[in-house]
Chains A and B, each alone.
Chain A
Amino acid sequence: MYPSKFDYHRPSSVQEAVQILADNPDAKVLAGGHSLIPVMKLRLAAPAALVDIGRIDALQSISRSNGSLRIGACVTYNEIANSADVQEAAPLLAEAAGQIGDRQVRYRGTIGGNLSHADPASDLPAAALALGATLHVAGSGGSRSVSASDFFVDLMMTALQADEILTEVEIPAAGAGTGSAYVKFEHPASGYALCGAAAVVTRDAGGSCTGASLCFNGVSATAVSAAAAASGLVGSDLSDGAIDSALSGMSIPDATGDMFASAGYRQELARALGAQALRTARDRA
């Protein structure tokens, strides 16, 4: 497992990183390295240069202000899973991060690397979608913000331009009466999601559903939102029957199949795991 030769840059600021990217069109951003390094070792990728953003202080923190949670791009899965702020303001994200890979992976892998890599079988994209995250991006043309629903474009393709870096993920803090759950069916070899269901529901004082979101990893080329099924729950009592009924006609568009699981089976998993995630979210709301 010997990668091809590459140049290595370790900028200390976002501006410097963006400049290096702009100057090196064949460069790739290195964060935790748990997706990029293996494909380089297999020589499936041979970037001319790596821009290691792992030592940029501005990308390392978790903070809360004005009803939102902000997570720097280089915060690790482990930090997210164990952060009291994340557990309180976006418990879905903490739960999903805690299910990624193994302990070693969680100590290295980062939220920014994960979302930028946009592997549809990873665990964070559906959570970011379900939570209505906003992704803050810096590039040589300045900074901008992209909603999670616009960020994932296609299989391992995002709205990021070649000279842009995802810097921060902003999530509206969970309000009262909100519950969430992430349920994953693990691929036995890779540990990635054959299907991962992220659910968020909000109930009013009478127990009636006032908002619902249900998103999936692993089923299509990108993380997807089952918006129709979720909206069917609004106004319901979130009973098992209501959940089953909302999911009975659910069909994820463009479900993909491979040698591990057919598209049809992934649809079945989405229904089964979606129902389980919604029931758990309801019980936590």
Chain B
Amino acid sequence: MAGESNGAGVFGSSIRRREDPELITGQAKYTDDLQLSGMVYCTVLRSDYAHAKINGIDASEAEALDGVIAVYTAKDIEASGVPGGIPVGWLLPDMKIPEHYMLAKDTTRYVGDGVAIVVAEDQYTAHDALDLIYVDYDPRDGVADPKKATEDGAPLVHDEAPNNIAFDWEIGDKGQTDAAFANAAHVASLDIVNNRLIPNAMEPRAALADYNSITGELTLYMTTQNPHIHRLLISLASLGLPEHKIRVIAPEVGGGFGSKIHHYADEAIAAWASMQVGRPVKWTATRTETYLTDAHGRDHVTHGELAMDADGRFIGLRVDTYAAMGAYLSTFAPAVPTYLYGTLMSGEYDLPAIHCHVYGVFTHTVPVDAYRGAGRPEATFIVERLVDEAARVSGIDPAEIRRRNFVSPDAFPYQTQVALEYDSGNYEGALDKALEAIGYDDFRKEQAAAREEGKYLGIGLSTYIEACGLAPSAVVGSLGAQAGQWESAVVRVHATGKVTVYSGCSGHGQGHETTFAQIVASALGVPYDDIDVIEGDSGVMPHGWGTYGSRSAATGGSAIASAAEKVVDKARTIAAHLLEAAEEDLEFEDGNFFVKGSPDQAQSLPDVALQAYLAHNLPKGIEPALEATSFYDPANFVFPFGTHIAVVEVCASTGQVDLKRYLAVDDVGNVINPMIVDGQVHGGIAQGVGQSLYETAVYDDGANLLSGTMLDYAVPKAHFLPSFETDRTVTPCPHNPLGVKGVGEAGTIASPAAVVNAVVDALSPFGVNHIDMPVTSEKVWNAMN
């Protein structure tokens, strides 16, 4: 690896992930691997009913079980005097915010809602005791469908939210949009369901809480994507402990996909239980519990329409959506179907009139919140499906109609009709590259020939854009966020020239330890192996906002770059002093400061660091040591874009969809590590293909979760997928120091539309214009017959 590990050339190289040896040999320590002296175990009794009044709870048998330390209910939490709340962190105007308590007080509102907890000496006893708690339920009707939930007479999730409407939100200009439709030559129209998804991070959620009653300090190891947010919410809303007395630590975290952003009751319960019993308390979700409690994703019922003029130019788009919130408002849930959804409705297109209206709806289901892509897959799906439908009704080729309507490369910055200002882009460039790689023109011939033989091939495009790199703090604040979205970094050069980097991000599979070190190696010109990256401990690094929304490179990476630049500036001052030269005469190359033209008389960064720590001979006014902190607040979102193409063959006798090829041309700006970027794209596509062909959370009419295990819920398996083909164009982000965008979610955002467009294309001889996801073989067979 020597060739790829030195200095400036490290940025942009496919250096292997330094995280992997520990992970793949099973040496990494996850929350559930941790053991503390005197540790006990906590389990949560969960409602079997989607909706029920609790008449009473008899825990006497459980309490009498040998090994049980205590059984607690909401009454005990109330009696302890803690706030006990599970808050929502994004406020929309006139939004209904029903109380969400750590355990259900008198009503359960989804199957899985916590009712009581057991603390016991071992896990088996803790689970056995759950069977000995008798809850007197008075079952009520439940509702799971977000559109039906708004109908008069539907069971109410919360009495204070009539018709179960949590919020009524819109963006764009309705009058202008309606006028565009009045003048349309063609209108494409679709009714779609964006299926409900269960996150399925490989590691279930877990917490190990250790409260010290003498110091009043709580140490909480937990599966989190954002330790500081959890610290803040546990302090303010759940337990009332002072923020500085809480230390939240993220050990190795095995994936999240958004599900470990949110503040749930269970981790707070473990912490509260530790305060009660005076011993460390561990709670680890079973896989069943992850299905019943991890915030689900998507779950929209949408009507969308796209208006065109006679030449197939888009003149107006309108979208109406019923978006499930589930039983309570989860941490960032209100933002997902609004500011992360409605704002993306312009897609890659120059659309002069847009209106998007969204009802956020309570249902008797697990809360719905951000799941990989969060709002942007939903937006891309309806836009890209409508564009294909527009191609169908206007008779224009799907590639051509896109080309005809793209925002042109010279139109940036481009102000959309839905708030976002796109900073850069070259959409046709990515489309052309993808069409050439897939052989689009030849494919159409092949498709026609295959149809003659009774074989049904289809091709689907998804020309997507997304807004990520969350986010300018003042902007999200004005939109309702109760959080900032800047990011922090500390770059600390030690006396020996070795470097430790602290980031406020909190990776859980993304490879930050590798990529962030690559940034610093390039910036400081020190060997990659001399740089360590530390994240995920609120007791160690400055406040940060964590890892989600494809933000870590754009915000956390930029913070690191900015801190590294400060280090270089200070080192330059010291080096100039040591070289007895003027600062402006110094060059900095490969980690060495030297006067222009005299590279042999150099002070290396380690030389300067040693002098900075000795502080025997520093320039006047310069403090000792060599480190810098940066808090970086981005100027704008970043806007990755690209073209994804799926090729499918549909089996005429069974309806089975065979994904034959999948090609992605993404533009994520400058690339820190191409291998890691490819990995993100591959994983994202697999997850999006999962949504489009296999995955769906099924609730029955009584709001019981039917797809409650991995026997029922189909996460895609490796053999379902072809080897993906990936390529890139590079349009650097103009407003951050690295020119990077984000790549974590692009695959899940782009791929569902590409796959469904391909299936619909394959079925065009049957007059099919839409099939809801997941596109199962039975749905396809029915459409063909």
Which residues of A are in contact with B by a Cβ distance under 8 Å?
1-2, 4-5, 42-43, 185, 187-190, 192, 259-262, 265, 268-269, 271-273, 275
Q: Are A2 and B781 in contact (CB under 8 A)?
A: no
Nearest residue in A to B712 (C-beta to C-beta)? A189
Q: How far is the CA of A185 from the CA of B653 in the complex (A)?
A: 12
Residues facing A in B552-577 (CB within 8 A) are none
**Is the CB of B764 closer than 8 A to any CB of chain A?**
no
Check if A189 sits within 8 Å of B286, measured CB to CB. Answer: no
Bound Cα distance from A275 to B654, whole angstroms? 12
Q: Which residues of B contact A190 (CB under 8 A)?
A: 710-712
- The segment from B124-132, B160-168, B395-403, B512-520 found at the interface with A is B124-132
For A185, A188, A275, which residue has the most chain B Cβ atoms within 10 angstroms? A188
In the bound assembly, the distance between CA atoms of A190 and B131 in angstroms comes to 28
Instruction: List chain A residues, Cβ under 8 A from B183.
Output: none
A262 and B131 within 8 A (CB):
no
Contact A1–B286 (Cβ < 8 Å): yes
Inter-subunit contact A269/B712 (CB<8 Å): no
**Contact (Cβ within 8 A) B715 A189:** yes
Query: Contact: B710 with A189, CB < 8 Å?
Result: yes
Q: Contacts A1-B287, A272-B654; is A189 near B711 (CB within 8 Å)?
A: yes
Would you call A2 and B124 a contact (CB within 8 A)? yes
Chain B: CB-nearest residue to A185: B654
Q: How far is the CA of A265 from the CA of B656 in the complex (A)?
A: 12
Query: Are A188 and B288 interface neighbours, CB within 8 A?
Result: no
CB closest chain-B residue, reference A257: B778
Query: Quick check: B123 and A188 within 8 Å, CB to CB?
Result: no
Interface presence of B212 (CB below 8 A): no
- 27 residue pairs bridging A and B, Cβ less than 8 Å apart: A1-B286, A1-B287, A2-B123, A2-B124, A2-B127, A2-B286, A5-B128, A185-B654, A188-B694, A188-B716, A188-B720, A189-B694, A189-B711, A189-B713, A189-B714, A189-B715, A192-B711, A259-B698, A259-B707, A259-B712, A265-B781, A265-B782, A268-B785, A269-B654, A271-B653, A272-B654, A273-B654
**B709:A262 contact, CB within 8 angstroms:** no
A265 touches B778 (CB 8 A): yes
Q: Which residue of A lies closest to B126 (CB)?
A: A2
A260 to B706, CA, bound (A): 11
CA separation between A192 and B712, bound complex, in Å?
11
Give the nearest-CB partner of B287 in chain A. Answer: A1
Which residues of chain B in 392-451 are interfacial with respect to chain A, using CB atoms and an 8 Å cutoff? Answer: none
CA distance A269 to B707 in the complex (A): 23
The CA-CA distance from A42 to B289 in the complex, in Å, is 11
Contacts of A273 in B (CB 8 A): 654
A259–B697 Cα distance when bound, in Å, is 11
Question: What separation, in Å, do the CA atoms of A262 and B131 have in the docked complex?
Answer: 35
Per a CB cutoff under 8 Å, which of A43, A188, A261, A268 touches B131? A43
Contact in complex: A261, B778 (CB < 8 Å)? yes
Q: A269 to B654, alpha carbons, bound, how many Å?
A: 6
User: Whole-angstrom distance between the alpha carbons of A5 and B698 in the complex?
Assistant: 32
Closest residue on chain A to residue B694 by CB atoms: A188
Q: How far is the CB of B336 from the nearest CB of chain A, in Å?
A: 26
Q: Which residue of A lies closest to B122 (CB)?
A: A2
* Nearest neighbor of B779 in chain A, beta-carbon distance: A265
Q: A190 to B288, alpha carbons, bound, how many Å?
A: 15
With A42-B288, A189-B715 known, 20 other A-B pairs at CB within 8 A are A1-B286, A2-B124, A2-B128, A5-B128, A185-B656, A188-B714, A188-B716, A189-B710, A259-B698, A259-B706, A259-B712, A260-B776, A261-B778, A265-B778, A265-B781, A265-B782, A268-B785, A271-B653, A272-B654, A275-B653
Contacts of B710 in A (CB 8 A): 189-190
B286 nearest CB neighbor, chain A only? A1
Number of interface residues of B (CB under 8 A): 32
The distance in angstroms between the C-alpha atoms of A4 and B715, with both chains bound, is: 29
A43 vs B132: C-alpha distance in the bound complex, in angstroms? 13
Task: Sort A-B residue pairs by CB-CB distance and give the 10 closest, nearest first.
Answer: A189-B714, A188-B714, A272-B653, A2-B127, A190-B711, A265-B778, A188-B694, A272-B654, A1-B286, A2-B124
Q: How far is A192 from B776 in the complex, measured between Cα atoms in Å?
A: 16
CA distance A38 to B654 in the complex (A): 31
Alpha-carbon distance A276/B287, docked complex (angstroms): 38
A1 — nearest CB in chain B belongs to which residue? B286
CB distance from B62 to the nearest CB of A (A): 14
Minimum CB–CB distance from A190 to chain B (whole Å) comes to: 4
Q: In the complex the two chains form, what is the Cα distance from A203 to B127 in whole Å?
A: 59
Query: Chain B 249-290, CB within 8 Å of chain A: the 1/0 string?
Result: 000000000000000000000000000000000000011100
Q: In the assembly, what is the distance between CA of A262 and CA of B778, in Å?
A: 8
Given A189-B694, A190-B712, also A4-B720 (CB < 8 A): no
Determine the chain B residues whose CB is within 8 A of the CB of A5 once the complex forms.
124, 128
- Give A194's nearest chain B residue, CB to CB: B777
- Closest chain-B Cβ to A216's Cβ sits at a distance in Å of 14
B contact residues around A188 at 8 Å (CB): 693-694, 714, 716-717, 720
In whole angstroms, how far apart are the Cα atoms of A188 and B693 in the complex? 9
Q: Which residues of A contact B693 (CB under 8 A)?
A: 188
Q: A42 — nearest CB in chain B belongs to which residue?
A: B288
Contact residues of B between 735 and 785, Cβ < 8 Å to A: 776-778, 781-782, 785
A121 and B671 CA atoms in complex are apart in Å by 47
- Residues 339-379 of B, flagged 1 when their CB comes within 8 A of A and 0 if not, give 00000000000000000000000000000000000000000
Shortest beta-carbon distance from A41 to chain B in Å? 8
Q: Are B131 and A42 in contact (CB under 8 A)?
A: no
Q: Which residues of B contact A269 (CB under 8 A)?
A: 654
Residue-wise, chain B 696-710 has the 8 Å CB interface mask toward A (1 for contact) of 001000000011011
Contacts of A1 in B (CB 8 A): 286-288
**How far does the alpha carbon of A208 sit from the alpha carbon of B642 in the complex, in Å?**
58
Nearest A residue to B123 via CB reads A2
CA distance A261 to B656 in the complex (A): 13
Shortest CB–CB separation between residue B58 and chain A, in angstroms?
20
Q: In the complex, what distance in Å separates the CA atom of A268 from the CA atom of B720?
A: 22
**Chain B residues with CB under 8 A of A262:** 778
| Docked pose: A271 CA to B713 CA in angstroms | 26
Which residues between 668 and 714 of chain B lie within 8 Å of chain A, taking CB atoms? 693-694, 698, 706-707, 709-714
Question: Once the chains are docked, how many angstroms separate the CA of A189 from the CA of B698?
Answer: 13
**Partner among A4, A185, A187, A272 whose Cβ is within 8 Å of the Cβ of B128:** A4
Q: Whose C-beta in chain B lies nearest to the C-beta of A4?
A: B128
Contacts of A268 in B (CB 8 A): 654, 781, 785
**Beta-carbon contacts of B641-660 to A below 8 Å, as 1s and 0s?**
00000000000011010000
Q: Which residues of A contact B712 (CB under 8 A)?
A: 189-190, 259-260
**Closest A residue, CB atoms, query B125:** A2
B residues less than 8 Å from A2 (CB atoms): 123-124, 127-128, 286
A124 CB, min distance to chain B CBs, angstroms: 18
B494 to chain A, nearest CB (A): 45
Q: Given the complex, which residues of A lie within 8 Å of B715, measured CB to CB?
A: 189
A275–B287 Cα gap in the complex (Å)? Answer: 39
Min C-beta distance of A218 to chain B, whole Å: 13
| CB closest residue in chain B, given A275 | B653
Chain B, residue nearest A266 (CB): B778
Taken together as a complex, chains A and B put the C-alpha atoms of A42 and B712 apart, in Å, by 14
Chain A residues positioned under 8 Å from B777 (CB to CB): 185, 265
